[in-house]
Each structure stands twice: as structure tokens, then as C-alpha cells.
Structure 1
């Protein structure tokens, strides 16, 4: 749309189903490239992607041509299908339902990029659950504990 100018920076965080540690070092970079391609195919710009074996963080510049929920639905569906087609895991791979989405001003982007890039170091002292709840609280987001971070039952 002509004369539409935006600056929208979003960090999304989502977990492997039951927070299982299924993302292996041997193929995580290939997965990140695939996910980046999905995001870029909708004209958004990935600024940083990284994660741990049980979850992923993506910071991207978002175009206002698509909702976050539509992007996340497509991203999770397509990447799950890709992982399953590649045979990277025994059984069926899927992402846990839901995600966290957090907006940042341009001045915060370098700090968020560094935070995401340093996930391995960060998680030496903090679990994913602790990290996620901290981000929710810092962002002032109300949440229902019944639906947060379902563990293996």
C-alpha cells in the first residue's frame, strides 16, 4: 500500500511439543535457514534466530500485511512437515500449541539480537521455563499457568 511506513520488531518464542529436546545440533542450522525462508517468503525480515533443543526464538521486522497468528500457523505447520519429511526425529515432530510474541522498539533491537544469539550461554543458568515466565512478567502479560509450558505427562 502506498504511503504506508512501519517499524515493527517482534520476537516470537515457541517450543517443541511437550518441551522435548528434539532439535539436534546436526540439523538446527538447516532448520533455522528453512524457518528464515518461510518468514522471508511473506516479506518479513529475520534479524536473529536461535534457540535450544526444546525451543526457538526469532526476532524479525514485520510487515503489516499479515497477522502474527497467520505467520506462526504457517511457520509451525511448514517447519513441522519439513522436519518430518527429512526424518530428523523418530516418530512425529510437532511444535507445542501457542507461542509468545513480544514487540520491541528500534532502540531495543541490538539487545534482543544479542540475547537471542547467546541462548546457549544464557541457558547455562536459566531454564526455558524460567526464561519464558520472566519475559511474560517483564512484558506485563497476564497468563494462565494451566496453558503455559506443558511438560511431558
Structure 2
């Protein structure tokens, strides 16, 4: 085969451990930029990064030789270390175990990017739990509501 050609666009969503509002709004842009760097250093394409004090959304173009789980693990580990080094939160910051990942066709990318960029508007009327459950439902992903988000981690 002469080459590998793919178009893999994945939205990744994950929450702060304990579902706390641990990411200070004044640092959100700096965190977004840092995470953009992590993704780029993993040789992935960054399409959108944005979040709220209690969770984060990413839209990436995933290269076929990369495992999504490895990319997400590295994003979470490196960004946690960065937040802790910056001492933005009292105690130790960490992301919740697990994540949601949703694939999109190229024709939906503009809509998903706008959605991620406008997180603050969406969450004026909708909680993260409601948003996350709606994503899982829309994509037909089975889940146990008791374990939708780990409030005790």
C-alpha cells in the first residue's frame, strides 16, 4: 500500500476529580494553550480546546498510529502536573478516571468547534452531568447512570 489516509476527528470530554470547580477561570486560557501544546507534541491535530472549572472538551484530529487512550492519558497526566506546578489549586489537582470520546465527520467539525468554544454559554443553563448524558445518549452509548461521573473520586 502506497500510504495511509485517514480522517479521524474525536471530541474528548473529561472531568476534574471529585467533580469540583477546581480550574480557575482566570487560568482557563493558559491551560487551553498548554493542552494545545501537549496535543501538538503528540503529533496530533488540535481543532478546539475549551473547558469549564469542572471539565474539559477537546476536538482532535487523531493520527492512525496513535491510540486514543495513550493520547488522553498523556494529556491528563501532563496537564495535571502543570496545574500542580502552577499551584492554581490548594492540595493536589487531578482529572477523573475515564473520559468520553465521540467521533465526527468533517461536515460536522465547524458545529462541534463552535460548541466547544461556547462552553460558557451552554453551561449557563445546563450542568456538566446533563451535557455529558446528552452526548452519550446522542451517540447511543450505554451507561449506568450511577457511574456516569465519579462524584467521589
TM-score > 0.5, shorter chain as reference? yes
Q: 1:27 Cα deviation (Å)? A: 1.1
Aligned residue pairs, count? 153
Matched, 1:75 2:75: yes
Give me the whole-angstrom Cα distance separating, in 2, the residues matched to 1:91 and 1:84: 8
Given the two structures, how large is their TM-score scaled by the length of structure 2? 0.95
Query: Deviating runs (4+, > 4 A) in structure 1?
Result: none
Q: What secondary structure does 2:48 align onto? A: strand
Map 1:109-120 onto structure 2 (within 5 A): 109-120=109-120
Given the two structures, how large is their TM-score scaled by the length of structure 1? 0.95
Partner of 2:98: 98
Task: Tell me whether 140-149 or 72-81 shows the greater mean CA deviation.
Answer: 140-149
Partner of 2:4: 4
Give me the whole-angstrom Cα distance separating, in 2, the residues matched to 1:84 and 1:2: 45
Give me the whole-angstrom Cα distance separating, in 2, the residues matched to 1:2 and 1:35: 33
Partner of 2:85: 85
Partner of 2:135: 135
1:74-120 CA-partner distances (Å, limit 9, x unpaired): 11111111111111110000000000000000001011001111110
Q: What secondary structure does 2:12 align onto? A: strand
Q: What secondary structure does 1:120 align onto? A: helix
**Stretches of structure 1 lacking an aligned partner (at least 5 in a row):** none
**Stretches of structure 2 lacking an aligned partner (at least 5 in a row):** none
Give me the whole-angstrom Cα distance separating, in 2, the residues matched to 1:111 and 1:5: 24
- Give the CA RMSD over aligned residues: 1.4
